[in-house]
Amino acid sequence: MAVTHLSELLRRSAASFPNKGITFLQNGQTRYMSYSDLLSLAENNAATVRKLAGRGSPIFLIHFDNHWNNIVWFWSVVLGGYIPAMSTPLVSDLEQRSKHLQHLYNLLEDPIVLTSAHLQSDLAAVDSEIQLQVRAIEQFDNEVLEWQGTCSPTTESSDIAALMLTSGSTGHAKAVTLRHNQVKTALKGKSQYHETTPDDVFLSWIGMDHVANLTEIHLHAMLLGASQVQIPAGDVINDPLLFLKQCAEHRVAYTFAPNFFLATLLRTLQKSEKSLDMDLSPLRALISGGEANVVETCDDLSKMLMEYGAPRSLIRPGFGMTETCAGSIYGKDCPDYDISRGLEFASLGACVPGINVRVVEASGNVLNSGEVGYLEVSGPIVFTGYYNNPTATAESFPTKDWFRTGDLAFIDDAGQLTMTGRAKDTVNINGLKYPIQELETAIEEANIEGVTPSYTAIFPHRAKGSSTEAMVVVYLPDYKQDDVETRVKIARSVSQILLQICAVRPYEIIPLTVEHLPKSSLGKLSRAKLRRAFEEGKFKKIVDMNAGLIAEYQQNFYTAPRNKMEAKLLEVVRSSLDIAESIKIGIDTDFSDLGVTSVEILRLKSRIDVALQLSKSLPIGTLLVNRTIRQLARAIANLQDSPYEPMTILQPEGNKTPLWLVHPGVGEVLIFIQLARYMTDRPVYGLRARGLDGEKPFDNIPEAVQTYYDSIRRTQPKGPYAIAGYSYGSNLAFEVAKLIEADGDEVKFLGAFDQPPHLAARSQQFDWVSCVLFVSFFLGLITEEQAKYTLGDVLKTMSRDDALTHILNGAPADRIDELAITKKKLADWAGVAFQLKLIGRDYDPKGKVARLDCFYAAPLPEVASTMEEWDAIIAEWTPFVEGEVGYHRVDGGHYDMITTHVRSFQKKLKQILEERGV
């Protein structure tokens, strides 16, 4: 029987597969209904549907709280010849609920609502002149229903089969039209792409109001005559392992779970004290969507599920919308494909039969592979319009036949689709756009104690009079209301994370109740609705209470300045770090708790020099080591007598083996500040070059190596040791490791960040001009283009003094003021960098270390023209290592691998540190 109408799908399944059907888990009990039983029940109910149908709308709004009734009455309406519209869960806010119901009344043209008696009162609109026609199914047996209207049942394949409501995250819900022929084509495309068969078992715990169940699972299984299992979402959310247990018990082959649940499942498995007794070998496809899948989560979860027999490529990230009948583009080689490409979020793969995809500019011009633009789709499985909403339909099809999804994406050189975010889901801070999902993911991955996983959202807010947007963070607390210490720690942690990425602190960090954070069927929070509620003042009481509790807590731990120097330092710290007056800071407040950036440290150092009129400039190392106003005031008082000390504290907390980081060619360690903030489980120390604070620079590399070796031994007398260097510092770290191993101690981790073993030839390429340009670029005085291409030839015709003047005259005035850069300071810094290059010209690596890990990014053009050539150069480390050498490609390039790309870099670094046992 050819399927042209959904009713034929059920009839064929009942006739051809009498032993197949649906297993329901409900209230802890299992119920089974064959497709034949479903057909009989739906046919009986169809008579009731026809009698209920009035002269107005042919639409029945299906509103139940369990799979059984939703499925039975969906099919009852279909067999009756009318249009089922699947209702979404109602929000708890009565005002918003009333607006939603009034909107549905108008949009669906006074539909009849089918529901259960215990839900009937929820569907009464508040303060409204209109009332929906709500009918409780329990009343039907006691009523005599007569035919009341003349609505014509749907019969053509092009007729509307069902209406699915969007979440309404950007306003009122829209009703997506799913037509019979569209659904049929989509189901066949899914089955062909995933090679599903009648012998497979399907499972869903997503509500029937979402296509992730209706078309992805329920109708897909029915097309094949395959068995299916339907589980309540609440049961799975409360007990994530129930999902796996049910998959094993029913030998499920095909299922779905959104990204947030994969993360929840992974955490639950990791915490489980014993291995589960289950066989997941039949499970071939775990479709995932709703939001971008984090590759690290997919990798870790795949490894754990493989222990129970699941295949490596079990997780299949997909792109799909209600408008495309759920999944229509899927990746089938996750996570290996994504890992090989260094992706943070999983690729979405290729199209199923029935859909085409392209990426375009805003104007509609098609972009080349690798270029990010607007995602558009077309084909027979794409909807043709929103019900009763021609304006939204026209806006969604800027080009004939091509639906613009609202997503940003690119198609890679292998033809695989990768999403980069929603076009509107960004926050614009000082002209730079930050994808909100990446910011939320950074907070989620931090696993902050007291923050409920998957309940964190960020949205932009522009305060009155502000020149730019700011971030508002909301989260669901997992602590008692009176636990103010945890509340404060969370605010501090979230601030630090976002400061590292965006260089600004959030406008507000608000702990909300679960009632304020309703999720969609796929577990998504609506940022637009949260923003609207915030700007309408609905969170004001919570914001005020939160601020009051934090202020009281800070007051209890506040120590006021005791003298003029401490008072002046407090004033400078507050202004330099842009600390709001509402945040209480005293002389014992740790600067690192405020999330200080490298730029802010330079600004703070310069302003302290000016404010205190110091005769000797405050060394950055002194500022990094003395992290409170009390400590800093004491250090400044003794400043004239302080000797050079290479060690600086970048991150003091943690009980794992300390990580030592050796400076790059500019001699300074500020480049490591962002990276150190991620290393919360171990102390992180930096080693600064001599000469940055007016001392005599090193005369040769052995002198530098011995100095750093002595400093490490003073701070950490015994191993094991973990040491790494960035660029030039990699060679120094190698030499320090040799000295430690010669003493009979162990270096368990030695890292080289983007540097080959041979230093001399590269050092020969640098003269004083190259060094002053590099330092100026590092300080933000010139652009990368100026440093590399335009200024070099100009400066080489000048004296050093004139060259310094030329750079400072062309630098942004606000940057010079911010850092209080003078000609002498720039000259001193450039002098240290040049001296390091001079002593590097004589460096010839010798000897071996026990082990080494090399982390390398895209090559500098002047070093290697291709990645293959760079691979070979980096591999020159192998002869200098006795044992294992790890070569690890990382994101970005030489200058931004541990700044712009610090999030992905720190993940790889942590992974290798763990593998090396430190």
DSSP-assigned letters across all residues of 53-111: --SS--EEEEE-SSHHHHHHHHHHHHHHTSEEEEPPPPPS-HHHHHHHHHHHHHHTTS-
| Strand, helix or coil for residue 684 | strand
* DSSP bridge partners of 59: 83
Concatenated DSSP letters of 527-577: HHHHHHHHHTTTTHHHHHHHHHHHHHHHHHT-----SHHHHHHHHHHHHHT
User: Which of 302, 521, 727, 730 is flagged as catalytic?
Assistant: 727
DSSP-assigned letter for residue 643: P
Question: Where do we find the tokens 């590292």?
Answer: 500
Other CB atoms within 10 A of residue 247 CB: 26
Cα 685 to Cα 142, 670, 682, 739, distances in angstroms: 78, 11, 10, 18
Is residue 111 within 8 A of residue 57, CB to CB? The reply is yes
CB 734 within 8 A of CB 852: yes
CA gap 443, 440 in Å, rounded? 5
Name the DSSP letter for residue 677: H
Encoded amino acid at 675, one letter: L
Alpha carbons 120 and 113: distance in angstroms, whole number: 9
Give the CA dihedral 909, 910, 916, 917, nearest 10 degrees: 160
Tokens of 299: 């990798």
Q: Tell me if 214 sits within 8 A of 202, measured CB to CB.
A: no
Residue 548, CB-side half-sphere exposure with 13 Å CA sphere? 8
Say whether 727 is catalytic.
Answer: yes
SS3 for 136-172 is: EHHHHHHCCCCCCCCCCCCCCCCCEEEEEECCCCCCC
What stretch of H or E contains 327? strand 326-330
Asked whether the beta carbons of 826 and 780 are under 8 A apart, the reply is no
DSSP result, 749-811? EEEEES--S--HHHHHT--HHHHHHHHHHHTTSS-HHIIIIISHHHHTTS-HHHHHHHHHHHS
Nearest CA to 497 out of 434, 560, 433 is that of: 434
Per-residue CA distances from 380 to 159, 221, 294, 353, 911 (Å) = 14, 20, 30, 9, 45
Q: What is the rounded distance in angstroms from the CA atom of residue 752 to the CA atom of residue 726?
A: 6
Residue 427: name the closest of 333, 510, 483, 503 by CA. Answer: 503
What does each C-alpha distance from 29 to 241, 809, 857 come to in angstroms? Answer: 17, 78, 55
Whether residue 720 has a cis bond before it, omega within 30° of 0: yes
What's the rounded Cα separation, in Å, for the pair 86 and 77? Answer: 11
Cβ atoms within 10 Å of 747's Cβ, excluding its own: 25
Alpha-carbon distance of 888 to 536, in angstroms, equals: 49
Q: Which residue has the tokens 């712009």?
A: 900
Reported in sequence order, the residue ranges of 832-904 that DSSP labels E, i.e. its strands, are 852-858, 885-893
The β-bridge relationship of strands 403-411 and 373-378 is antiparallel
Residues assigned a catalytic role: 727
